[in-house]
Copies of this chain bind each other. A is one copy, B any other.
Amino acid sequence: MRRALELARLGFGKVSPNPMVGCVIVHHDRIVGEGFHQQYGGPHAEVNAIESMENKGILPQCEVYVSLEPCAHQGKTPPCASLLAKHKVGKVIISNIDPNPLVAGKGIEILKKAGISIETGLLEEEGKELNKRFFTSQILHRPYIILKWAATADGFIARKNYDSKWISNDFSRKLVHKWRAEEDAILVGKNTALHDNPSLNVRDWVGKNPLRVVIDRELKLKKDLNLFDQKISTVCYNLNKDEALDNLSYVELEKASFFHEMLADLHARKVQSIIVEGGASTLQQFIDAGLWDEARVFQSTNCFGDGIRAPQLIDATFDGKEDLLGDTLIHFRKK
């Protein structure tokens, strides 16, 4: 199953909004077939694993390790559960039950009806971690939310004039661009858009640009900001205007349920994950609302002396730290 999860991970960034899935076929303790879901719209892991076998005739004597419950619905490909049933495989070992209501338990049902023995829950946590974006989207109907900021050693996120430059080193900045390429969307608040005028694109890494999201309740931001250049799709959530230009959408939300409506709208746009890059006030709003899953906090070794205080996490658990050429990267999860 570890190998199946390892294979699954190779689909990272290519299969969304599908989950990453890996499949390993074992015959008398030897791996005889491997496969993973490689591309959105392409064949599923089970199909690739079976295709990779030299002799499909031994499948009834094989155990099939698959990281996610085989699908039961006719989607872009035929249902995998039926395929496994057709081949009368010896046993199916599953890490995670599919949280997708279109599948949940139905794949297992098909296999059981075919008299195939089944085991579930092997490396369940690892499987959930791998597909945390997919699971969050399926279960909570909102994107997986990653908070990111860089703080000075003395706990400031920016100077008093909002200048936040040079908090983190080159390596850290490169890493941030890698992270952007890994998520479906990136979000900043009005102050960050105004004072930093960020492009929020992926420059220091190779990868796709995420959807840009900005919160500008009162529509105070000027149109000549980089965010509004329409080079990348951008959504601006606000209280006053609904408008869809070529590559820029204004979405009007209710004040009282702003965050929940925003996340529901992003979910409807098939955004499975979003990285929130600031500023302090926006980050704190996500924290205070309990709307976050992971926080990645850079701690640099310089001091600002005074300025805008870094956000205060609530209900966080420590999830490891890394030394990045002087900076420290601290990982947190929400309890």
The residues of A with any CB-CB pair to B shorter than 8 Å are 152-155, 301-303, 305-306, 309, 312-318, 321, 328, 330, 332, 335
- Take A153-B330, A155-B312, A332-B153 as given contacts and tell me if A317 and B301 are in contact as well, using a CB distance cutoff of 8 Å: no
Contact between chains at B313 and A301 (CB < 8 Å):
no
Contact between chains at B301 and A306 (CB < 8 Å):
no
Contact between chains at A301 and B315 (CB < 8 Å):
no
Query: Complex: how many Å from CA A332 to CA B156?
Result: 14
Contact between chains at B305 and A154 (CB < 8 Å):
no
Query: Complex: how many Å from CA A99 to CA B312?
Result: 44
A-B contact pairs, 8 of them (CB 8 A): A153-B316, A153-B321, A154-B316, A154-B318, A154-B332, A301-B318, A303-B317, A303-B332
The listed residue (B153, B301, B318) touching A303 by CB distance below 8 A is: B318
Contact between chains at B312 and A309 (CB < 8 Å):
yes
Contact between chains at B316 and A303 (CB < 8 Å):
yes
What is the copy number of this chain in the assembly?
2
Contact between chains at B312 and A316 (CB < 8 Å):
no
Closest to A331 in B: B153
Contact between chains at B305 and A335 (CB < 8 Å):
yes
**A330 proximity list for chain B (CB < 8 A):** 153
A330 to chain B: closest CB distance in Å? 6
A154-B316, A155-B155, A303-B313 provided; 9 other pairs, C-beta below 8 A? A153-B321, A153-B330, A153-B332, A154-B318, A155-B313, A301-B321, A303-B317, A303-B332, A306-B315
The listed residue (B153, B305, B309, B314) touching A305 by CB distance below 8 A is: B314
A332 to chain B: closest CB distance in Å? 7
Query: Complex: how many Å from CA A318 to CA B317?
Result: 26
Query: Complex: how many Å from CA A40 to CA B133?
Result: 67
The listed residue (B306, B312, B315, B318) touching A153 by CB distance below 8 A is: B318
- Of A153, A302, A318, A335, most B-chain CB atoms within 10 Å: A153
**A303 proximity list for chain B (CB < 8 A):** 313, 316-318, 332
**A317 proximity list for chain B (CB < 8 A):** 303, 305
